[in-house]
Amino acid sequence: MSTDPKSPILTTTAGAPIADNQNSQTAGPRGPVLLQDYQLIEKLAHQNRERIPERTVHAKGWGAFGTLTITGDISQYTRAKALQPGAVTPMLARFSTVAGEAGAADHERDVRGFSLKFYTEEGNWDLVGNNTPVFFVRDPLKFPDFIHTQKRHPRTNLRSATAMWDFWSQSPESLHQLTTLFSDRGLPISPMHMNGYGSHTYSFWNEAGERFWVKFHFKTQQGHAHYTNGQAEAVIGQSREGYQEALFGAIENGRFPRWTVQVQIMPELDAEKTPYNPFDLTKVWPHADYPPIEIGVMELNRNADNYFNEIEQAAFSPKNIVPGIGFSPDKMLQGRIFAYADAQRYRLGAHYESLPVNRPRCPVHTYHKDGAMNFMPNNPNPDAYYEPNSFSGPAQAPQYREPPLRLSGDADRWDHRSGNDDYSQPRALFELFDADQKARLFANLAAAMQGVPDFILERQFAHFDRVHPDYGAGVRAAVAADRRRAGEEPSALPMHLEVAARLQGAG
Ligand code: NDP
Ligand code: HEM
């Protein structure tokens, strides 16, 4: 109970002063409480509404504010004001793991989300990428299936290695991302020690109406640093919140993390000539073909004052582009353009873009009307509430028209696996690893395969063989070694893994 004369007077949510915040109103000292104690009811009722749905994926996250500073000159490719030489744009970043729930431990092996919201003077521009340049699937129709394999089994309520490898072994397009996930870079020590990638191919368009395809890269200036599975287990034993502690602590102590920003640019018509589909999210553009161009630096330098308001309520969405930046035919990107705003209307409400963290820093003029919890500013011109109108309401601006994109093709359900090389790029990655890195890759894969039926493992090994004979042989040997160890000393397998393995085998 504060006796500080500087403390403001405690009030109800309606602003009336509260005389006693220690004792409920009761009939006599022993109770019962009176229904008219509206402040008691208000406190209990409000607490019941403190939780909102967590994100269906990427639920555990860590974020901070900062700036994007452009030092290079790519004005020949894009008219986006935030990308012109010298531009400094305020921004928000949120990093995340994919599969774990909001209370998951930070140091789990998983892909990391790398979400960026740039508050540009032409509207919010969001890049919602990962710490990997590629993804597990290339058709949005497969995203819900893939995510179900990452979440809990409906009966055991445990995560299921069988489900994961059953899906992956029947989806060879996942090999590139799998090789990254189970390599050293699949377990960064903190959000500061990893790269970020826009991952998708986006487009740039310039004042002359020319289009270029573009990929975005954010290279860590802190250096890459990773934990092995064993190190991570020890870290989680000490703290499940290591990423929050590291990011929050670094910024609080003035050690502002930075990333060098690069783009790869492809002239529009090159897309018809590359040996790979440049809009396929399971592929990178080799640097030798499209060298990264350095364009600036991103720095995080301010922690949120309220995690829930500013990080949990942040709504990143690939739909948010600004003039000079456009989409591409990437099927996954197309699916995501729909999915995020839909999720956010459900998770946060119809007016989620009016929340302070999501609100653009430039004027917003729409004809949206009403809706639950509408706190959009009143329209100063109330007669102009439809369009077209004769009362000077907001009007379209043809100077922002994106150049037309030539598209053709028969509408069909095209087989995205037909004629697609799922093996060469994972091979290029595998060949980047030295002998120790390969050994850790094999061991990490074997650890994640415990309890998976042999017929599924054999299907997956065959894919590794096609990437590189050493890859298949290495994983087979690591799985056999794990099994020998478990056979020799069965107690080496923790009890919960034994139960999970038995249940997965049965399921
Ligand atoms: P390059 O040798 O020109 O580029 C290699 C890229 O791989 C660099 O971006 C580097 O990132 C990254 N890299 C280096 N070591 C590892 C590692 N242990 N785990 C994951 N990534 C690593 O080759 P290419 O452009 O021809 O690409 C070869 C392979 O590299 C690709 O198949 C892809 O798997 C991977 N890669 C390619 C990227 C691209 O955009 N081309 C981006 C990221 C990975 P850094 O400079 O930060 O060390
Ligand atoms: C979060 C859907 C693919 C990165 C989300 C959310 C949804 C979603 C619904 C929660 C959004 C929210 O509640 O605010 C999808 C669908 C995909 C897809 C349907 C494919 C069709 C991808 C890919 C990437 C990615 C390819 C990265 C390249 C992220 C990130 C978040 C996220 C980083 C967390 C955003 C945040 O920090 O708030 N996704 N996703 N997703 N997704 Fe995806």
* pLDDT for position 491: 45
- Within 6 Å (CB) of ligand 2, which residues are found? 55-58, 61, 94, 96, 113, 115, 128-130, 135, 140, 143, 199, 281, 314-316, 332, 335-336, 339-340, 343-344, 347
Is residue 280 a contact partner of residue 420, using CB atoms and an 8 Å limit?
yes
Residue nearest ligand 1's atom 33 by CA: 429
- Which among 103, 166, 111, 161 is positioned nearest to 134, based on CA atoms? 111
Task: Tell me how far the alpha carbon of residue 223 is from its chain's centroid.
Answer: 21
Give the active site residues.
58, 130
The ligand whose atoms approach the alpha carbon of 285 most closely is: 1
* pLDDT for position 386: 96
Question: In whole angstroms, how far apart are CA 485 and each of 441, 472, 489, 491?
Answer: 18, 20, 6, 10
Distance 161 CA to ligand 1 centre (A): 28
Q: What is the largest CA-CA distance in the chain?
A: 85
* pLDDT for position 41: 97
Task: Divide the 507 residues of the chain into consecutive groups of 10 and give the mean pLDDT of each group.
Answer: 87 96 97 96 97 98 98 98 98 98 98 98 98 98 98 97 98 98 98 98 97 98 98 98 98 98 97 96 98 98 98 98 98 98 98 97 94 87 95 96 94 94 98 98 98 97 98 98 79 50 47
* pLDDT for position 493: 47
Distance 436 CA to ligand 1 centre (A): 17
* pLDDT for position 497: 54
- Within 6 Å (CB) of ligand 1, which residues are found? 133, 180, 183-185, 195, 219, 284-288, 425, 428-429, 432-433, 437
Residue nearest ligand 1's atom 1 by CA: 287
* pLDDT for position 430: 98
CA distance 192 to 63: 11
Question: In whole angstroms, how far apart are CA 423 and each of 26, 182, 290, 403, 464?
Answer: 73, 16, 20, 35, 9
Distance 380 CA to ligand 1 centre (A): 53
Residue nearest ligand 1's atom 30 by CA: 429
CA distance 224 to 190: 10
* pLDDT for position 1: 67
* pLDDT for position 380: 86
Distance 493 CA to ligand 2 centre (A): 34
**ipTM (interface pTM):** 0.98
Is residue 82 a contact partner of residue 123, using CB atoms and an 8 Å limit?
no
